[in-house]
Amino acid sequence: MSCSSSSGGSEEDDEGIDCYRKGGYHAVRVGDTFNAARYVAQRKLGWGQFSTVWLAYDTRSSSYVALKIQKSAAQFVQAALHEIEVLSVIANGDPSNSKCVVRLIDHFKHTGPNGQHLCMVLEFLGDSLLQLVRYNRYKGLALNKVREICKCILTGLDYMHRELGIIHTDLKLENILLSSTIDPGKDPVKSGLTPILERPEGSLNGGATMNIIEKKLKQRAKRAVAKISERRASMGGVVVQKSERSLDGIDMMCKVVDFGNACWADKQFAEEIQTRQYRAPEVVLRAGYSFSVDMWSFACTAFELATGDMMFAPKNGQGFSEDEDHLALMMELLGKMPRKIAVGGTRSKDFFDRHGDLKRIRRLKYWPLDKLLIEKYKFSEADAHEFAEFLCPLLDFAPEKRPTAQQCLQHPWLNLRTSTQSEMNNESTVENLDSRVSKLQIRGGW
């Protein structure tokens, strides 16, 4: 596996062994201690392009924390120093820890066989919103739950933008974590986990590497068995229906995380920012950017929560690039881009002619957001219009016209309290089914 895997992990859900070398990851074993034995590693939580993240026990505060261990090469150290600087400013400005942004607790250096690694200690949070959407089988969450999540994200963005002057630049489902785990059994406090305070006996130096290899082999075996089962089911004409998953009891409070790519509005580092599907048009066109790029990404995130699908998923095509397809998808949903904006970036000539029309994608199929929600995602007309009214201003091609996070927090859609029509329909269907089952039970003498 390449060392340049995305921060969301790979299909195999581990970082591979190739990057456990000089300049790379630090091999961690359960029971390893850090920072003068203050933190004890419990289990791996995840990994990214720059680091691995471990659940650790803080012996000083008797609490669980997330320990982020950066790769040791110079460029990764530099990235970690930048993230620590940003997180320190965030923590100092939020002593009550109420702004819906992850909290930095501590940071230190740790020397290992692969070099010196910068480590960050962060508050322990739960699963990402991407994991929540996957858990819900990509069906889209009930709008009341989407509202709860949106309020948290906007609270975090408002704090970053208005009070600190920070642009996140990579807002997406993976970079927003629930305050608690979806499965209470995976929460070390709720599950009553007894902390490991010393390395288990028989743990060899190669333990971390062997664990990765064993895990990879087990995952491959599981996938092979699943494919065989699916093939048998399809050959036998058997349709396997997945059971419904309830989101009841899952706390939708969440926090914005991962500030490795964040920048100050008046001190920007890169022209190309944001993960592709959440990238704003001004970034594609290289027309400069500010806080409003986060608002565009926020709208894409809210849509994905409500539908289970990405708002924009551009691809390369015959004779056109991924960037041009992305611009075409934006216009099909939002209408033609104003000429002034279309031709206003340093890369505009790559995509648009002097009239503001795309050079290589000529036929656009317009499908406005409210109609898309009704026709494809079966929203009620009221829900579709209200949700589109909330999202569309955030997707204005003119960045300066997009509402701020502070303005969004005042929007009527966020403060609706009534059940949506679709949710009421679902409740009505369940009640009808319950009624029919009761009648059957009486007739059948169950």
CA 12 from centre of chain: 18
Q: Per the domain annotation, does 235 fall within a domain?
A: no
Q: Per the domain annotation, does 283 fall within a domain?
A: yes
Residues 157 and 267 in one domain: yes
Q: How far is CA 222 from CA 17, 46, 176, 307, 355, in A?
A: 20, 20, 29, 29, 55
What is the structure's pLDDT at 200? 82
Query: Is a pLDDT exceeding 90 seen at residue 207?
Result: no
Query: Is a pLDDT exceeding 60 seen at residue 445?
Result: no
What is the structure's pLDDT at 44? 95
Picking from 99, 51, 47, 68, the residue whose alpha carbon sits closest to that of residue 406 is: 99
The answer to whether 334 and 312 have CB atoms below 8 angstroms apart is no
pLDDT band at 5; cut points 50, 70, 90: very low
What is the structure's pLDDT at 429? 41
Across 280-305, average pLDDT: 98
Across 400-412, average pLDDT: 98
Q: Record the tokens describing residue 8, joined without a space.
A: 């969301």
Residues 298 and 280 in one domain: yes
Domain at 175, CATH number: 1.10.510.10
Across 342-371, average pLDDT: 95
| Cα–Cα distance measured from residue 204 to residue 196, given in angstroms and rounded to the nearest whole number | 17
pLDDT band at 98; cut points 50, 70, 90: very high
pLDDT band at 214; cut points 50, 70, 90: low
What is the structure's pLDDT at 348? 97
Q: Per the domain annotation, does 444 fall within a domain?
A: no
What is the structure's pLDDT at 17? 82
Across 172-194, average pLDDT: 95
What is the structure's pLDDT at 421? 43
Query: Is a pLDDT exceeding 60 seen at residue 148?
Result: yes
Residues 25 and 117 in one domain: yes
Q: Per the domain annotation, does 221 fall within a domain?
A: no
What is the structure's pLDDT at 218? 66
Name the percent of the chain lying above pLDDT 70: 80
Domain at 103, CATH number: 3.30.200.20
Q: Which of 59-63, 106-110, 197-201, 261-265 has the lowest mean pLDDT?
A: 197-201
What is the structure's pLDDT at 15? 77
pLDDT band at 416; cut points 50, 70, 90: confident
Return the higher-pLDDT residue of 205 and 32.
32
What is the structure's pLDDT at 439? 42
Amino acid identity of residue 308, one-letter, is G
- Which of 101, 124, 147 delimits the end of a domain? 124
pLDDT band at 7; cut points 50, 70, 90: very low
What is the structure's pLDDT at 426? 46
Residue partners of 314: CB distance under 8 A and separation at least 6: 276, 277, 322, 323, 325, 326, 329
Residues 30 and 152 in one domain: no
Tokens 């329909």 correspond to: 425
Residues 118 and 266 in one domain: no
Picking from 45, 298, 38, 20, the residue whose alpha carbon sits closest to that of residue 156 is: 298
What is the structure's pLDDT at 48? 87
Tell me, yes or no, if 370 is annotated catalytic.
Answer: no
pLDDT band at 229; cut points 50, 70, 90: low
Give me the number of domains the chain comprises. 2
Across 145-153, average pLDDT: 98
Q: Per the domain annotation, does 211 fall within a domain?
A: no
Q: Record the tokens describing residue 377, joined without a space.
A: 């995602």
Q: Per the domain annotation, does 2 fall within a domain?
A: no
Q: Record the tokens describing residue 265, joined without a space.
A: 């509005």
Answer yes or no: is 68 a known binding residue. yes
Residues 317 and 405 in one domain: yes
- Which of 124, 145, 170 delimits the end of a domain? 124
170, 258, 294, 396: the active-site residue: 170
Q: Per the domain annotation, does 436 fall within a domain?
A: no
What is the structure's pLDDT at 226? 64
Name the percent of the chain lying above pLDDT 90: 75
Q: Which domain holds residue 79?
A: 20-124
- Which of 105, 124, 143 delimits the end of a domain? 124
What is the structure's pLDDT at 1? 33
Residues 262 and 383 in one domain: yes
Digit-coded pLDDT (tens) for 19-32: 899 999 999 999 99
| Cα–Cα distance measured from residue 292 to residue 157, given in angstroms and rounded to the nearest whole number | 10
What is the structure's pLDDT at 16? 77
Residues 405 and 315 in one domain: yes
What is the structure's pLDDT at 431? 47
Q: Per the domain annotation, does 258 fall within a domain?
A: yes
| CA dihedral over 440, 441, 445, 446, signed as positive or negative | positive
Query: Is a pLDDT exceeding 90 seen at residue 203?
Result: no
Return the higher-pLDDT residue of 312 and 445.
312
CA dihedral 261, 265, 267, 268 (to 10 degrees): 50
CA within 13 Å, CB half, 306? 33
Query: Is a pLDDT exceeding 90 seen at residue 175?
Result: yes
Residues 182 and 255 in one domain: yes
pLDDT band at 236; cut points 50, 70, 90: low
Work out the mean pLDDT of the chain and round it to a whole number. Answer: 87
Question: In which element (H, E) is residue 83 found?
Answer: helix 74-92
Return the higher-pLDDT residue of 418 and 105.
105
Residues 286 and 303 in one domain: yes
Residues 372 and 266 in one domain: yes
| Cα–Cα distance measured from residue 337 to residue 347, given in angstroms and rounded to the nearest whole number | 15
| Cα–Cα distance measured from residue 163 to residue 291, given in angstroms and rounded to the nearest whole number | 12
Residues 58 and 149 in one domain: no
Q: Record the tokens describing residue 225, joined without a space.
A: 């068995």
- Helix, coil or strand: residue 44: strand
What is the structure's pLDDT at 238? 53
- What is the radius of gyration, based on Cα positions, of the chain? 24
pLDDT band at 319; cut points 50, 70, 90: confident
